[in-house]
């Protein structure tokens, strides 16, 4: 089984975020970066399938030169090789633009499975994996917690709302968006880190892939959340106040 995993490098969760002078993106110069969480689960799912059924796992990632450290991490965990789409303007590309880059790199590989994380931790659009599937003409399913190989394709477990799950069978080749939490993530071993240094990393550019295009969606401005405080006094009896509080939590705060 040949599996391609699309991974993304994102700022670490606890990294202090500052807006750049143009107000269109964040200052990246002082940030630490890491592998996107749901992409890590996609990689783990791919590695487990390889261990059970054999084959090859390759990762593909787009971004500037610093993305190489995240690619090496994936190789150290067990991926066989990688494709790095060298792209310094990834943050200015919309989900369709990023998906076009990934699809152009993946298509010649003719994989049995294309796995991606459900969404990225920086933008959280949750669209790229779905668009890649459409561009490649592959059947697709999202919110995947588990993948099983069958005689005719794969059987997947999807996480729905309120504790419900769904089992779906898809033919191969297929593309799947993996949800976080389906497996226990592995750490890179010392031997894996040493081996990663000798594994193939193919460098491509957007121009070589013919995937340059004007974005359909442009990010005009970003801003940090405004801190707000407010106090409301609820009148009436304790029973009436409790009922009013419940209404506000449901329909105003939307936490229930």
CA atoms of 192 and 34, how far apart (whole Å): 18
Query: pLDDT tens digits, residue range 71-87?
Result: 999 999 999 999 999 99
The predicted-structure confidence for 145-190, as pLDDT tens digits, reads as follows 999 999 999 999 999 887 899 999 999 999 999 999 989 999 999 9
- What pLDDT is attached to residue 29? 80
Q: Is a pLDDT exceeding 90 seen at residue 215?
A: no
Residue 254: the pLDDT is 76
pTM value is 0.84
Q: What per-residue confidence (pLDDT) applies to 102?
A: 97
Q: What is the pLDDT of residue 166?
A: 94
Instruction: Give the C-alpha distances (Å, rounded to integers) separating 168 from 110, 141, 150, 176, 248.
Output: 23, 8, 12, 11, 38
What residue spans define the domains of the chain?
2-209, 226-256
pLDDT at 157: 95
Which is more confidently placed, 149 or 214?
149
Percent of the chain with pLDDT over 70: 100
pLDDT band at 57 (very low <50, low <70, confident <90, very high): very high
- Would you place residue 218 in the very low, low, confident or very high pLDDT band (cuts 50, 70, 90)? confident
Structure tokens at 24: 């269109």
The CATH number of the domain covering residues in 2-209: 3.40.50.620
Query: Where residue 62 falls among pLDDT bands split at 50, 70, 90?
Result: very high
Looking at per-residue pLDDT, the higher value among 173 and 248 belongs to 173
pLDDT, one tens digit per residue, over 103-140 is 999 999 999 999 999 999 988 889 999 999 999 999 99
């Amino acid at each position: 089984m040949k599996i391609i995993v699309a991974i993304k490098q994102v700022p670490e969760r606890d990294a202090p975020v500052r807006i750049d002078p143009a107000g269109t993106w964040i200052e990246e110069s002082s940030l630490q970066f890491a592998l996107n969480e749901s992409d890590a689960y996609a990689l783990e799912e791919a590695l487990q399938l390889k261990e059970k059924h054999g084959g090859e796992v390759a990762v593909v990632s787009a971004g500037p030169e610093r993305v190489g450290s995240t690619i090496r991490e994936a190789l150290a965990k067990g991926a066989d090789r990688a494709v790095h789409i060298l792209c310094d303007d990834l943050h200015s590309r919309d989900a369709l633009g990023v998906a076009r880059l990934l699809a152009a790199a993946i298509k010649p590989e003719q994989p049995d499975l294309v796995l991606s994380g459900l969404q990225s931790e920086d933008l959280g659009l949750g669209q790229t994996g779905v668009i890649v599937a459409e561009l490649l003409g592959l059947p697709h399913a999202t919110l995947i917690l588990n993948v099983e190989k069958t005689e005719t394709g794969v059987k997947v477990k999807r996480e729905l709302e309120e504790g419900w799950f769904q089992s779906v069978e898809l033919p191969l080749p297929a593309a799947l968006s993996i949800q976080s939490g389906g497996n226990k993530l592995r750490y890179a071993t010392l031997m894996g880190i040493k081996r990663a240094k000798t594994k193939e990393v193919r460098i491509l550019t957007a121009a070589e892939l013919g995937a340059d295009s004007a974005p359909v969606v442009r990010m005009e401005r970003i801003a940090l959340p405004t801190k707000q405080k407010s106090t409301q006094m609820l009148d009436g009896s304790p029973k009436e106040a409790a009922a009013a509080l419940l209404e506000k939590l449901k329909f105003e705060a939307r936490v229930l």
